[in-house]
Amino acid sequence: MNEQISIGFTAMEHIRFLTENIGPRPAGSLQEQRGLDYAAEQLIRNGYKTQQSPVSFAPNPAFYIENILAGIIIILAGWGWYYLPWLTLLSPLLLLLIPELERWNETHRPHTRKSANLFGSVEDEDYDKPLIIFCAHVDSAPAMAVDHPLLVGLFAHGMTILQRLAIFILFLSIVHLIGFSLPFSIYLPLAIITSLVGLWFAGTDLINQLNRKKGYTTGAIDNASGVGLTLALAEHFAVSGVPRRLRLGFLVTGAEETGLHGAMAFAKSNLIQKQKTLVINLDMVGAGRDVLIVEKEGSLFTYKTPVELNKLFLNVCPQAKLTWYSLKSGDFAAFLAAGVDAISIQTTGNDQAEAVYHTVNDTFDAVDIQSLELTGQALVRYVDMLPYSQWAMTKND
């Protein structure tokens, strides 16, 4: 096999096993554990010492109110801006607060279920060297009932649409408040439009929540692709060797889809020296050939990934672009919250791949092998450059 394409092909074989031999991997399930065991077998086969550690997590609630509340807020703003402009000034802030409320809820629900993490590294290493950890979650998400490609894409951007609509209404409210006369003829059409948008968003979410017959996704892109690439990189470095002055680790987390519980547990463990660790999170890396690196996460209260480490990745992968997770999150955020340096890599650009997000159509056939190869080769170059970075030099002092 051509060495230049081996990372992508190796990753695809792991993805195939996770999706077709194991299938859906809900947090805390036997299938999730089978995914962890499979990853452990692959790491051991390549000479790594592995350790599984238990993770307690809070299962997803039977019903979420946040998206429905967002739909109601935009409907009220659309009908109220002309007569109650002072109140509609709050709508953008409320819509920004809802994702933060959802994050808070995820981290404060009682932990009643058990999952696990898997960590692999080389035995008998110099523990004074900086540790680079490739991280990916193995669990898969509940499948949405509404899975038409167009509707999936719209719903994925639904909160952003509501937030921008609220900002437009805010502008009209301010104009109205400072005394500019706005024709009443724009009031009713805007109210109807906001009602339709709000009802669509809240109604779609309600349908998804009340119809759970489709179970869980097989999670090929989200996130067998991340696990597959992590295992392929482990095999690559087992053959080629680890750059001097660095240590490498490989982390497969459980219970990410329930609120980053696996990553939070690992970040609080004694398995790493926080000040000498960099986590490279791989999430949805088989979704196209546009490489994204997350620069920050959150809407009002944000976590920022290290600028210097992001720039280094842009140097080895010039086509990559920075992105902001204003609504969704990933394991990297749990590490940043715990004071551990972390970056996060995702890919996009494949319409088919993006249309299957959190649906039963997220299968092996949707994964883009060239996306995996492109990302994998960029990460190899990134690790090769890290020993010469300012970050690594300060950690080696």
Which neighbouring-strand residues pair with 247? 131
End-to-end CA distance of the chain: 41
Strands (E), 284-340: 290-297, 303-304, 321-325
Domain assignments of the chain as residue spans, ordered by start: 3-61+114-143+216-396, 66-101+149-210
For the record, the structure tokens of 204 come out as: 């779609």
For the record, the structure tokens of 47 come out as: 């000479």
Pairwise CA distance, residues 165 & 369, whole Å: 37
Please give the CATH architecture assigned to the domain spanning 3-61+114-143+216-396: 3-Layer(aba) Sandwich (3.40)
Pairwise CA distance, residues 209 & 51, whole Å: 36
Instruction: Assign residue 250 a region (left: φ > 0; alpha: ψ between -120 and 50; beta: otherwise).
Output: beta
Q: What angle do CA 105, 218, 12 make, to 5 degrees?
A: 120
Pairwise CA distance, residues 289 & 82, whole Å: 46
Pairwise CA distance, residues 129 & 135, whole Å: 19
Pairwise CA distance, residues 363 & 145, whole Å: 16
Strands (E), the chain: 49-57, 113-121, 131-137, 247-253, 277-282, 290-297, 303-304, 321-325, 341-348
Pairwise CA distance, residues 36 & 138, whole Å: 7
Q: Which residue has the tokens 């660790």?
A: 277
Neighbours of 192 (CB within 10 A): 12
DSSP H or E segment with residue 150: helix 149-156
β-pair type (49-57, 303-304): unpaired
pTM of the full structure: 0.93
β-pair type (131-137, 321-325): unpaired
Question: pLDDT (tens digit, 9 = 90+) per residue, 42-66?
Answer: 999 999 999 999 999 999 888 889 8
Pairwise CA distance, residues 250 & 230, whole Å: 7
For the record, the structure tokens of 208 come out as: 């998804």
Instruction: Name 238's Cβ contacts closer than 8 Å, sequence gap at least 6.
Output: 46, 47, 48
Closest listed residue to residue 50, CA positions, set 35, 60, 38, 40: 40
Query: Using the 8-state DSSP alphabet, how is residue 221 labeled?
Result: I
Q: Which residue has the tokens 């494949």?
A: 350
Closest listed residue to residue 382, CA positions, set 297, 283, 294, 311: 311
Question: pLDDT (tens digit, 9 = 90+) per residue, 354-363?
Answer: 789 999 999 9
What is the chain's pLDDT, residue by residue, as a tens digit (397 residues)?
Answer: 444 458 999 999 999 999 999 999 999 999 999 999 999 999 999 999 999 999 999 998 888 898 999 999 999 999 998 888 888 889 999 998 888 888 888 888 899 999 999 999 987 667 788 999 999 999 999 999 988 888 888 888 898 899 999 999 999 999 888 888 778 888 899 999 999 999 999 999 999 888 877 799 999 999 999 999 999 999 999 999 888 889 999 999 999 999 999 999 999 998 888 889 999 999 999 998 899 999 999 888 889 999 999 999 999 999 999 998 887 789 999 999 999 999 999 999 888 787 899 999 999 999 999 999 999 999 999 999 999 888 888 877 6
DSSP H or E segment with residue 199: helix 187-210
